[in-house]
Structures are given as C-alpha cells and as structure tokens.
Amino acid sequence: MLSPVTLQSYKVTLEPLNKAHLLGLLAAGQDPQIWQWLLQNFCASEDVLAKWFTDTAQFDATSQLVFATTLTATGEVIGTTRFFRYDQSQLKVEIGHTFITPKWQRSFVNTHAKYLMLKHAFEDLQLVRVELRTHENNQKSRNAMLRIGATFEGISRKDRRLGQGPFRNSAWFSIIDDDWAQIKTALEQQL
C-alpha cells in the first residue's frame, strides 16, 4: 500500500495533495498548452477541479498517491504528479498524470521531482520497476523521460481515451531496479 509521504529536495517539495493546494493548482494549470496531451483539463474551473479532487485525486489511496509539486523555498504550487497503478505483488508502479506550469518547464523542477519519486520507489518501497508513459506525439515529455534515464519500450496502440474523444497511442518507458544506481548517480550530478 502507498502511504502518504512528503518528498523534499532543497528546491522541490512533493506533498500529498490536499484541499489547501487547490487554488494554487488552479492558478498553475491555466495555460492551455498544458492540456494538449493530457487526458483531462481538471483546472478548467474551480468546480471542475473540486470534482476532480474528490472523484479522481482521492480515488483508491491503496494504489495511488497524488502530489502537489511545490517550490521548497516559497511553497508555491507549480503542478502535480502521482504514483499510480501500484502493484504490490509485481513490485511496480507508474509515475504520471504530471503537469508543471510552463514557467517551470525545462528547469530543475522535473529532475528534482522525478529523482525524489524514483528514490522513494526503489529505496523505500523496494520496487523493481517504475513505468512512465505519454502520448506518442508528446515529444517534450518523451525527451524528459529519456533525460532522467528511462528506457523507451515501445508504442502501445489505442492505450488511453482522451476524455470523451479519440483513443491515443502511448509511448512507454521504464526504469528498473538494475538501472537505478547508475541513474541515481547521473541525476544527483544534475541536481
């Protein structure tokens, strides 16, 4: 079972998402480019965000842990990410449903956040596999996954439905426990 935990570096803090984060998350999610590749714009309004928080972010705490991504120095909410599809029997989890407000994209934020999550997954939870996936055409996310050391595993066709619209093909990536020591060293050099 995933237990609520705060993960922190000197630049980024991942806190279990709670109602106090929602107004900051709403502000962080206002740029339309964020939602081009994601399944749902849950920051469309306060009402939509409140429903998402209750119905999705709080759904099944045994298999997911949703974080507010904040700046350690100021506490400003700049996005969200989560562990989900936690499978205790197979010792694996997926990291995803991530967005970072454009002001902080291609900065230190993603490196710090993914380092914290991967360290928790491999060292605290003792998992053997972490999966990541994105829309096959989301080149920014695909590049970010490669930058943190993930291995591209292929395209899964019609993997997820985009809201009530068409299905998307997903690009799959993974990091396994055998990779972690080398990836950890590389990420720590980047931090």
Is the model's pTM score more than 0.95?
no
Q: For residues 105 and 144, is the Cβ–Cβ distance under 8 A?
A: no
CATH fold of 7-190 reads Aminopeptidase (3.40.630)
Q: What is the pLDDT of residue 176?
A: 98
Closest C-alpha to 64, from 107, 93, 98, 103? 93
What is the side-by-side order of every strand in the sheet holding 7-8? Answer: 7-8, 12-16, 65-71, 77-87, 92-100, 129-135, 167-176, 151-161
Burial of 36 (0-12, 13-18, 19+ CB in 10 A): exposed
The pLDDT of residue 1:
66
Q: What is the pLDDT of residue 158?
A: 93
Q: Which two tokens stand for residue 137?
A: 């055409």
For residues 134 and 83, give the distance between their C-alpha atoms in angstroms, rounded to a whole number.
14
Angle between helices 177-190 and 108-119 (to 10 degrees): 140
Q: Is 38 helix (H, G, I), strand (E, B) or coil?
A: coil
Report the pLDDT value the prediction gives residue 147, as an integer from 0 to 100.
Answer: 94
What is the predicted pLDDT for the residue at 88? 92
pLDDT at 48: 85
Alpha-carbon span 127 to 8, nearest angstrom: 20
What's the average pLDDT block by block, 10 residues per block, for the chain (191 residues)? Answer: 92 96 92 76 84 80 90 96 94 94 91 97 97 93 95 94 79 98 96 89
**Token pair for residue 131?**
């999966």
Other C-beta atoms within 10 Å of 88: how many? 13
